[in-house]
Structure 1
Amino acid sequence: FAVEVVRQLNAAGTAARLHVCGIRQLPAGLPDFVVDHGFLNKGIPKEARRFDQLFEQSHLLLVPTRAEAFGLVFCEASAFGLPSVTTDVGGIPTVVREGDNGKTFPLAAPAADYAAWITALMADRAAYDALAMRSFETYERRLNWTVAARDILATLRG
């Protein structure tokens, strides 16, 4: 699905690459715009740096997942000011809030909907910059371990 989104972006004139990490072996025959980084183990410093570099060098995090309990990767993306584009399933809407740090689509949304939204965002530099800044602010305000620990302690203390 993500490959189809990026295929449509490129076909519409929005130059895009899809960087994939976390999969040990991608299927053969993928388009040239797919960049395979393999499985990155964040417990290995060199691989953790590569993971961070992917966030630093990207414009969006595209994760059109079909099921997700929470999605820590969306918090990580927000830490880099990287807006997330994903699916409105499971716990994702508690992390990715439209206009706050990204966009969620219904599970049945076609790739064309994702591509159209991304194209419009990338065509408006001010809108993209504002969303990227809000993504980072969202990380600082609610998507980091310090805030999570504070909230848990407050709940436990009643």
Structure 2
Amino acid sequence: YLRLIGAHDWSLHPEKACRVHVWSQFSRQMHLEEGYVRPEQIEVLYPGLPLAGRVRKEKDPSEKVSFLFVGRDFVRKNGALMLQAFRQARERCPQAELILVSQLPDGRRLAEEGVVHYPFLTRQELYERIYPRADVLVLPSKSEGFGLVLVEAMSFGLPVIAVDAWAMPEIVQDGVNGYLIPPGSLEELVTCMTRVARDREHLDALARGARRVFQERFALPIHNRRLRQIYEESLSSSGR
């Protein structure tokens, strides 16, 4: 991700470190290609988050299906594609709604049928009011380092629709806890959104998959055990 935005800073001299921790295999490969670290020196340690206490509830077919878009950088997160896809999906599924948590480039507040727009919310507000209300998180980014918002959503039992690029395939198992779409593909995004809006049983199955994948890979106890293992291996190899 640092290479994507041109923000490398190696003032900490990683070549002198026993271990360098990165969040994804994608990031590990980027670091190796740049030649800043040795293969045996760099470890993938997925971020760990607490399991949310309140999770998405299964809904009656007559209830709305709420898609969620969260991103401070509306342009880089491809909010324009999100809006375009939602409008087309809603033509097919009038019960769909979009919760948009992002500031538009022109600063205006979006007033559109089926769209609930919040220019800004605190993390606490997201956790208490938005994630438990939503059904599916959508992140069609133009570039992304990791996509932590995907993991946050999964901790609440939300399936996710993301881009088949960068580290996202390490988070999203296509058809298990969500969908992966080609970068910039409006057609694929509309198709995925329409499918989950129409098929509640499938949506509920993806939601269960999201919770399961989170617990197996991104839950805080998993992260902490792996971190302890890395530290113990580092101390052992250094003779301390």
TM-score range, shorter chain: 0.7 to 0.9
8 Å contact kept, 2:88–2:190 = yes
Q: Within 5 Å, which residues of 2 pair with 1:33-52?
A: 33-42=114-123, 48-52=124-128
- Count of aligned pairs: 152
Give the drift of 1:64.
Answer: 0.7
Partners of 1:21 and 1:88 in 2: CA distance? 23
Is 1:79 the counterpart of 2:155 in the alignment? yes
Partners of 1:16 and 1:3 in 2: CA distance? 12
Partners of 1:131 and 1:91 in 2: CA distance? 20
Give the drift of 1:13.
Answer: 2.9
Higher relative contact order (CA 8 A, sep 6+): 2
Matched position secondary structure for 1:74: helix
1:67 is matched with 143
8 Å contact kept, 1:3–1:34 = no
Partners of 1:39 and 1:24 in 2: CA distance? 10
Deviation larger for 31-40 or 136-145: 31-40
Runs of 4+ in 1 over 4 A off after TM superposition: 24-30
Paired residue for 2:200, among 110, 113, 125?
125
Partners of 1:122 and 1:13 in 2: CA distance? 7
Give the drift of 1:129.
Answer: 1.1
1:114 is matched with 189
1:11-36: CA deviation from partner (whole Å, max 9, x where unpaired): 12343222111437654666333321
Normalising by structure 2, we get a TM-score of 0.57
Deviation larger for 61-70 or 24-33: 24-33
Partners of 1:31 and 1:149 in 2: CA distance? 44
Of Structure 1 and Structure 2, the greater helix share is in 1
1:3 is matched with 83
2:4 is matched with none
Structure 2 unmatched ranges of 5 or more: 1-80, 234-240
Partners of 2:171 and 2:108 in 1: CA distance? 30
Matched position secondary structure for 1:97: coil
Task: Name the CA shift for 1:99/1:72 in 2 (closer, same or farther; >3 Å).
Answer: same
Task: Name the CA shift for 1:83/1:155 in 2 (closer, same or farther; >3 Å).
Answer: same
2:209 is matched with 134
Structure number with bigger Rg: 2
8 Å contact kept, 2:93–2:198 = no
2:69 is matched with none
Give the drift of 1:135.
Answer: 0.6
Partners of 1:71 and 1:6 in 2: CA distance? 21
Alignment root-mean-square deviation, CA: 2.1
Amino acid paired to 1:155? I
Matched position secondary structure for 1:114: helix
Normalising by structure 1, we get a TM-score of 0.84
Matched position secondary structure for 1:6: helix
Structure 1 unmatched ranges of 5 or more: 43-47
Matched position secondary structure for 1:17: strand
Give the drift of 1:152.
Answer: 2.2
Amino acid paired to 1:36? H
Partners of 2:111 and 2:132 in 1: CA distance? 24
